[in-house]
Every structure is written in C-alpha cells, then in structure tokens.
C-alpha cells in the first residue's frame, strides 16, 4: 500500500489543504512547453509542485524525448511512488532512463507489494540487473514473491502486517504497537492468530481505539475471517472484496498460516484493470496501448483484424451463393446490409449484458435458461417491430411489396437468433478456458451476418424468382 | 460503510474461518428447488447459512414467485445489509414485498450512506410512504442527503465521522474515543479541524495507535488534506481515490466546513458502476438489465437500434448510387461487405482505446494530436497489410486483377480513416455534453460504412466501367 503523500509537501512545513483534482491540462501544456524549449529550471519548478500521481500522468503524456528530460530532472531524488502509477510501456521507458542503480534505490523505497509489482513489470534482463543492486534481504523477499503465479493473491499481498496472539489484551497490543519498529506504514486491521500462526479473527483499529486496556483482543474479533488462499486469482479477490465490502483480508498459505494481507486500495487497481480488460477485449484490443509505438500497436491489433477478415469472407461466401439472384434483383444488394447491421447490433446488446453479467457472477448455470429465453423474447419483440419498420422501408424503396415482406421476415428471424446467440455464445465460452470477452464478438457477428444474408437472400431467391 | 458480517454468524459464538467465495451455484439450485416445491423450512435453513451478500445474489437469481417466497422467509428479521447489495430492479421488487413498515425498519438499521442510497433508489410514492415510517431524526438527515444532486459526493458520503481540535493530544483523543457513544462503527482516519470546523489534517488510526499519549494530534497529521467538495461528481471522486491511493477523504461544504467522509469501499462500488457504464454504452445498452422484464429491456434497447437503423439506411443509400455498377459487375455486391466490416472493426479498436483513455484522463488536449496521428498511422499500416491480403482474395475470387486493385485501394483508405475517426469522434464528443461512450460507436460505423462502400464501389464505377 502506498501512502498518500504529495511530492510537493516534502519540503513544506504547513498543512496544505487542496481539492482533489487530476493533472491540470494547462500545467501539462506549460511543462511540455518548458521541456520543449529546454527551460529546465522552469520545468523542474512545475514538476516539483505536482502530486506524485500527477507526475506519473505527465510522464505518460510526454513524447519520448521530453520524457527523458523530465526523468533526468527528477532523477537525483526520484520519488519512488511515481513508478507504480505508470502504464507498463511508459514504465519500461522511465526504468531504462533511470538506470539500474537508481531504479533499485527507488524500488527499495516502496512498500513490499508495490516493489514486487514493479520488479515483475520489468523485462527479464533489466529485472536481473536491478535485482543485483537491491539489498539482499529485500531481494530474497522479492524472489519469493515472484515465485507466486502472475495475477495471484501472492503477487498482490503486502507481507508486513500486525498479528497478535489470542490471549493478548488491548493494552498489551497498544504497548506492542508503540514499541515495535518493523510495522507497516499504514494498516487497518490487526489479525488475531493461534499458536500455529493461523488467523482466527480480525480486529478493526477503530475497535481497538475505542476499547479499554484490559479487554482481550479475542473478544473484539469479528466472527468471520474471510481468508484468501495465496494462489487465488486477483479477479476472484477483487470480486470478494467488492461483494463483501472488505477493507483488508488475510492471505494464508496451503497450511492455513497467515503470510500476508491484501488491502482494498490494491483491489481498486485490480478492479480498474479487470473492467478495462473486458472493455478492451470486447473492442478487439489487448490493452490501453496509447503509449506504445505505432508499429507495436499495429502488430497487436493485426491478429484480431485477421480473424475478423475470415468471418467477413465467410459472410461473403454466403452472399456468393446468391449471385444469380442479385444479378436479377439488384436492389437486394442495396438492402442486404441493413439486415446484417441490425442483427449484429441487436446481438451485441445481448452480448454486452451477458459478458458483464458473467464477470459479475449474475449469469450462472442457475439462471441461464431464464436469461436465455428472455433475451430470445427481447430479440423477437424488437425483431417484429423492426420487421414492420424495415419492411415498409424496403417496400417503399424497391416499389415491390414482396421485397418488403422478404425483408420483414429476414429481420424478425435474424434479430431473434441474434438475441439468443448473444447470450448463449459468451455463456458457453465461460464454461471453457476461452475468455468470453475475447472470442464472443467475432463468433456472434459471423453468425448474425450469415443468418441475415441467408435469410434475406434465400427467401428472396425462393419466393421472388 | 457496511461492516463485513455474516448473516449466519449472528447466532454463532465461535470464530468461523472461511474462504472468500461467491454464492455457490449448487446451494442456489438447492434453494430454488426447495422454494419451488414449497419446502419452506429447508429453504429457510439454506438461506440462513449464507452471507448477506450471497443472499442478495440469490434473491437476484430467483424468479418473481420464488423471490417473494424468499423475502417472506427473511421478513421477520430481515438483515438490512442485504438491501444495498441488490440490483435496482430486484430491490424494487423486494421493497414492495417487504412493505413500508419493515422497509423503514431495515433502512434505520443501515449506516447513513447506505440508507440514503436505498431511499434514493425507491420510486417516489414508496419513498414518501417509507419516509413517514422512519424516525424523525433519521428522516431529517435523509431529506438533507436527498437534496444533494444524484451521483454527487453528498450522496456518497457517510455523515458520522471522528474530528478532533488541533490542540488535542493522542491521549485525549484515545480517551474521547473510549467514552463517546455516537461514533461510526468503523473508521480509518481521524480528522483534525480548526475552530471553524475546517479540516486541516488527517491522522491514520495506525499512527494514533503507534504514538505515545502526550504527542499532539497536529504533529501526526498528513501534510496534504485532499478535500472533496460536496457537489463533486462521484466519477471524479472515484478517479481521485484511485489516482492518489486514498482510503478516506473528508467532504466539505461551500464554506470549507467538514460535513462528511467518503471511504474507499464506497468508491469500489462507484468504480464498478462507472466501468460498467462505459462497457454498456459502447455495447448500446443502458445497464445490466438481466433482471428486468423482457418488455422493459426491449423498450430500452429499441431507441439505440432505431438510431442504428438510420445509419444502416444511410449506408444503403450510398450503395444505391451504384446500383447500375453492381448490376453489371455483381461480384462487387459479394465483396463489398468485407471492406465495410474491416473498416468498422479497425475503427472500433481505436474507439475502444480512446473511450477508455478519455475516462482515465490519459487522452487530453495536451496529447490529442500525438495520439491522433499515431492512430492514423496504425490504421494505415494495417490498411496496407490488409490491402495486400484482401486485394489478393478479391483477385482470386473474381478472377480479375482490376477488382483486386480496387479492393486493395478501398481497404487502405477505409482503414486509415477508420483509425483517425475512431480517435477523433470520442475526443470531440468529450469536449461537448455528449457521453463519448454512447454516441461514438454509431457515428463511427456510419462513417466507416459510408467510406468503405463509397471507396470500393466508386473506384469500381470510375475505373471498371
């Protein structure tokens, strides 16, 4: 956990009261201007007045040259709290510019969970070199942390925590807290542990403060201790925190022994990450790549576009079956994209709701049939409405009532199937190892396009020729 | 803030240690089975063993009849913590079944911020009736809370907090905490206030506990107090918490006086909500509507589909200009959806990144040009690659090299424009009052479809006829 502290406040001696705001674009522009024209002192002054999170935002917005200059300004006393706030691509850039020695120093200045995240984000070569420059005790702890799987509770947890035996009183606990010098900077709960160091209760600090000295800690313990196994996926951890309104939770090893603590502010970052992941995957991208070079971004997006090309070709093959029909009734070619577009969008609506509901555990095997039949019904309801509207449009446009009827029928069929497919596809994928957010969209549009063209052109060929 | 507490643990007297898990689908199915066959005692037993958040999940997954039966089982001692966890549509249902008196009792049992959220979620008639049944003091506080704008810090904040004068020592503070009986259940920070009740510092509880009694609270204060104006939008609040790793922040009125506190666990819910909002809006839906009746969901989605229909018709009008061309070269109708599909998907990739970057304050006026030119370049890079691939496909398929060349040119143009439009549209919308997540997708596909059909069919008409 990183303590909230301003870079600027380090030198001050009064209490600064300020409103919560992000990086001011005006200040960003001034800083960029100063860096651009080499006015280093002015840039240094502007940067020194910023909160560390704002410095991180600024570093992200700078181009590589300006960023290097800004890092050089900060380097003599680089505030380590900046590093965990940086996007991965920018972090690599800053880390390289800082150099291994300074980077190792910054990492040593962070809390153990932030230090671990940072080391894990470095590329292998730099990771090895920086590790060499880190004091042996911290290095050993970091190596132990790196042994836990990526995105697991073990990576997220803070190893420093406060644990007391069951028989201690409030007074003994307070005396211990006042004297011990290896405690974390900030903590919210004290864990009560049995002789095997297994957690048997948690006590909120506010309860300790409000209770007289002779009361045993055990009496203050919350009845339920929700423990996190060290290998639990961070997404599960975030879900549990949000669902149960937790502020911190003890992490236990396979033997049930207390080895760390996860606090809610670490989970906030995970929630941001996970929500972003779903959003990005649905949009066919792999991450917020605005800081990456164009060539890397292009490469990352190519594969998804290639899969999309294959599905587009499939749709064209379906159209190809009806070349003769289109040749005789060319208005079909003009109208057919409407059916495909409406089917695709109706399906995407169902899909978006389903992907989010699966992530939030709102769509499970217990209610899948009910949701599926509802989505089919919604698709059919709107399908019938749009069949009337689009049928009318097609009739007026083509001047032929029969083309209007074909369009209406195709629209109703496509939209009902789109509603069902939009729910069924992500749900079935969620039962497999495939992420529904990644693959659902491509599968869905393949199906809706094929159905739309097949229904519209097929009915036309059968009825009109 | 809701305290983490198990419904089941209320009767127990030992320390229950359990792992963090969501509602078990097996248990959900058993409960549904018991409710379905009227085995009320068995259902009651299953429900009594659940955490309140799991009961909320179960209520959400039940159909209306089963839900009514479950509410009846819980009603005699309805655990109030269940209510804030419910989806809005389910909450209305449960609130109605509980009745005004019981609902008022439950609301009185919640912390002030949860009580306010709940009252605000009721429809007007029920809100008025429930308010009548609430004790006068709480009613006045709730009415004051309702006066703050929806989604503002005033709605989110907890009114109970701990504030001490600047001249108090740690010892005086601890004595006060032990004796006062109107303190919140859980709190993480103590605010230091001046005689005008303006916050001048915050002290983490862990620091109070670790410090000897004679030390003045002022000396323990964090240097920077990030205050939240009571009218600040909850999205801004969530952003500031995530950015600055805050655990709690004081809320101040227009005169700068301390009137409440927002804690990070309330913000977790907001982050969930806001991330969901962007995801849903990009997908053309208004919320997680899986608990709403089919007819309501259908209505909510209709308007977006209708807007989509208008853009689809626009694309068809573009195709309509080239009816004569398609009549003579019918393979164009077969191939044209490929250009439109690739343009739409490339644009959506840029769009998704831009919408998220705007929400995260990563895309601002300071770096807009740089991001825009990068996205254009990415579009052009992939456009050239896919021009080669798709041009080849079109050539082989049609047997005509000229059609391959037309397709290649159309693809490169469409994808480059898609990349620029995918970034420019949400950025320009973000400067207006329109939510980029809602309107960008429709505008984008209108543009990419029109460009794709115009480039492909236009080039074909000009060159091949």
Terminal-to-terminal C-alpha distance of chain B: 71
Check CB contact under 8 Å for B205 and A201: no
Q: Which of B184, B265, B272 sits opposite A247 (nearest CB)?
A: B265
Read off the pLDDT of residues A82-137 as tens digits, 9 standing for 90 and up. Answer: 998 888 888 888 988 988 888 888 888 888 888 888 888 888 888 888 888 888 88
Distance between CA B104 and CA B132 in Å, rounded?
9
Distance between CA B393 and CA B391 in Å, rounded?
5
Is residue B250 within 8 A of residue B191, CB to CB? The reply is: yes
Helix axes A331-359, A264-282, angle to 10 degrees: 160
Report pLDDT for B347: 92
Instruction: State how far residue B191 is from chain A, nearest Cα, in angstroms.
Output: 12
Q: Is B343 on the interface with A (CB under 8 A)?
A: no
Report pLDDT for B7: 33
Read off the pLDDT of residues A347-359 as tens digits, 9 standing for 90 and up. Answer: 988 998 888 888 7
Whether pLDDT at A320 is above 90? yes
Instruction: State how far residue B393 is from chain A, nearest Cα, in angstroms.
Output: 9
- Give the residue-averaged pLDDT of B285-308: 80
- Give the residue-averaged pLDDT of B203-214: 90
Stronger pLDDT, A345 or A293, i.e. the higher one = A345
Whether pLDDT at B6 is above 80? no
Please list every residue in chain B whose beta carbon sits closer than 8 Å to the beta carbon of residue A262. none
Q: Which of A174, A210, A312 sits opposite B342 (nearest CB)?
A: A312
Check CB contact under 8 Å for B247 and A330: no
Q: pLDDT grade, residue A300 (50/70/90)? A: confident
Q: Is A382 on the interface with B (CB under 8 A)?
A: yes
Query: In the sheet where B189-193 sits, what is the strand order?
Result: B163-165, B189-193, B199-204
With a CB-CB cutoff of 8 Å, which residues 76-95 of chain A face chain B?
85, 87
Check CB contact under 8 Å for B226 and A20: yes
Report pLDDT for A296: 82
Report pLDDT for A13: 32
Q: Is A360 on the interface with B (CB under 8 A)?
A: yes
Q: Which of A18, A285, A345 sits opposite B226 (nearest CB)?
A: A18
With pLDDT > 90 as the criterion, what percentage of chain B qualifies? 37
> What integer best gives the mean pLDDT of chain A?
86
Check CB contact under 8 Å for A353 and B288: yes
- Give the residue-averaged pLDDT of A306-316: 92
CA distances from A182 to A3, A80, A143, A165, A166 (A): 16, 20, 20, 17, 21
CB pairs under 8 A between A and B: 469
Q: Which of B5, B14, B378 sits opposite A298 (nearest CB)?
A: B378
> Most B CBs within 10 Å: which of A333, A397, A403, as the mutation test of the B interface?
A333
> Most A CBs within 10 Å: which of B168, B284, B298, as the mutation test of the A interface?
B298
Helix axes A112-121, A88-98, angle to 10 degrees: 90
Q: Is A257 on the interface with B (CB under 8 A)?
A: no
Report pLDDT for A328: 92
Question: Which helix or strand (DSSP H or E) is residue B450 part of?
Answer: helix B436-464
Side-chain-facing half-sphere of A151: CA atoms under 13 Å:
9
| Residues near A168 by beta carbon (within 8 Å), at least 6 away in sequence | A176, A216, A217
Among A439-443, B145-149, B406-410, top mean pLDDT goes to B406-410
Read off the pLDDT of residues B97-136 as tens digits, 9 standing for 90 and up. Answer: 988 888 888 888 888 888 888 888 888 888 888 888 888 8
C-alpha B7: how far from its chain's center?
27
Distance between CA B83 and CA B90 in Å, rounded?
10
Check CB contact under 8 Å for A378 and B205: no
Check: complex ipTM more than 0.90: no
Is residue A379 within 8 A of residue A346, CB to CB? The reply is: yes
Read off the pLDDT of residues A210-243 as tens digits, 9 standing for 90 and up. Answer: 889 999 998 888 766 778 999 999 888 888 887 7
- Give the residue-averaged pLDDT of B9-13: 32
Check CB contact under 8 Å for A333 and B333: yes
Q: Which of B186, B338, B386 sits opposite A316 (nearest CB)?
A: B338
Check CB contact under 8 Å for A362 and B288: yes
Instruction: State how far residue B423 is from chain A, nearest Cα, in angstroms.
Output: 11
Side-chain-facing half-sphere of B312: CA atoms under 13 Å:
24
With a CB-CB cutoff of 8 Å, which residues 146-205 of chain B face chain A?
174, 177-178, 183-188, 198-201, 204-205
Whether pLDDT at B10 is above 60? no
- Give the residue-averaged pLDDT of A257-274: 85
Distance between CA A145 and CA A116 in Å, rounded?
7
Read off the pLDDT of residues B31-40 as tens digits, 9 standing for 90 and up. Answer: 888 998 989 8
Distance between CA B169 and CA B174 in Å, rounded?
9
Q: Is B392 on the interface with A (CB under 8 A)?
A: no
For B230, the closest chain A residue by CA position comes to: A19
Q: pLDDT grade, residue B432 (50/70/90)? A: confident
Lowest mean pLDDT among A314-318, B159-163, B388-392, B393-397: B159-163
- pTM here is 0.75
Distance between CA B7 and CA B58 in Å, rounded?
14
Distance between CA B388 and CA B382 in Å, rounded?
10
Report pLDDT for B108: 87
CA distances from B67 to A80, A343, B123, B375 (A): 52, 34, 20, 50
Report pLDDT for B340: 93
Q: pLDDT grade, residue A448 (50/70/90)? A: very high
Token pair in block for residue B156: 């989110």
With pLDDT > 70 as the criterion, what percentage of chain B qualifies? 94
Tokens 């398929």 appear where? B397
DSSP E strands: which ranges in A358-452? none
């Amino acid at each position: 956990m990183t303590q909230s502290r301003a870079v600027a406040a380090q030198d001050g001696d009064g209490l600064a009261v300020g409103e919560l705001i992000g990086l001011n674009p005006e200040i960003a522009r001034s800083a960029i201007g100063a860096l651009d024209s080499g006015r280093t002192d002015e840039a240094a002054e502007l940067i020194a007045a910023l909160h560390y999170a704002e410095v991180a935002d600024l570093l992200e917005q700078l181009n590589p040259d300006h960023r290097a200059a800004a890092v050089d300004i900060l380097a003599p006393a680089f505030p380590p709290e900046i590093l965990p706030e940086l996007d991965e691509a920018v972090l690599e850039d800053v880390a390289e510019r800082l150099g291994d020695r300074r980077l190792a120093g910054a990492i040593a200045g962070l809390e153990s969970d932030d230090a671990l995240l940072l080391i894990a984000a470095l590329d292998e070569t730099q990771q090895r070199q920086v590790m060499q420059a880190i004091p042996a005790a911290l290095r050993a702890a970091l190596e132990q942390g790196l042994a836990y799987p990526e995105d697991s509770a073990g990576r997220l947890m803070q190893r420093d925590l406060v644990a007391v035996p069951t028989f201690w009183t409030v007074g003994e606990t307070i005396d211990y807290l006042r004297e011990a010098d290896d405690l974390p900077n900030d903590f919210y709960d004290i864990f009560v542990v049995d002789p095997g160091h297994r957690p048997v209760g948690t006590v909120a600090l506010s309860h300790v403060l409000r209770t007289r000295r002779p009361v045993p800690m055990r009496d203050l313990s919350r009845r339920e201790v929700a423990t996190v196994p060290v290998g639990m996926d961070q997404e599960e951890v975030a879900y549990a925190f949000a669902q149960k309104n937790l502020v911190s939770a003890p992490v236990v090893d396979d033997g049930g022994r207390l080895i760390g603590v996860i606090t809610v502010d670490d989970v906030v970052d995970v929630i941001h990450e996970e929500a972003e992941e779903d959003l990005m995957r649905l949009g066919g991208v792999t991450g917020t790549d605005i800081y990456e070079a164009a060539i890397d971004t292009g490469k990352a997006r190519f594969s998804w576009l290639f899969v999309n090309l294959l599905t587009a070709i499939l749709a064209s093959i379906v159209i190809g079956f009806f070349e003769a029909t289109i040749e005789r009734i060319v208005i079909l070619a003009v109208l057919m994209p409407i059916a495909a577009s409406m089917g695709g969008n109706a399906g995407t609506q169902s899909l978006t709701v389903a992907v989010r509901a699966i992530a939030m555990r709102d769509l499970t095997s217990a209610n899948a049939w009910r949701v599926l039949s509802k989505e089919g019904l919604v698709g059919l309801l709107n399908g019938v409405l749009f069949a009337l509207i689009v049928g009318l449009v097609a009739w007026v446009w083509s001047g032929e009532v029969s083309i209007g009827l074909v369009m209406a029928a195709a629209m109703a069929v496509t939209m009902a199937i789109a509603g069902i497919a939009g729910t069924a596809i992500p749900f079935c994928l969620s039962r497999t190892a495939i992420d529904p957010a990644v693959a659902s969209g491509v599968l869905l549009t393949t199906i809706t396009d094929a159905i739309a063209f097949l229904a519209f052109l097929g009915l036309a060929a059968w009825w009109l020729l």
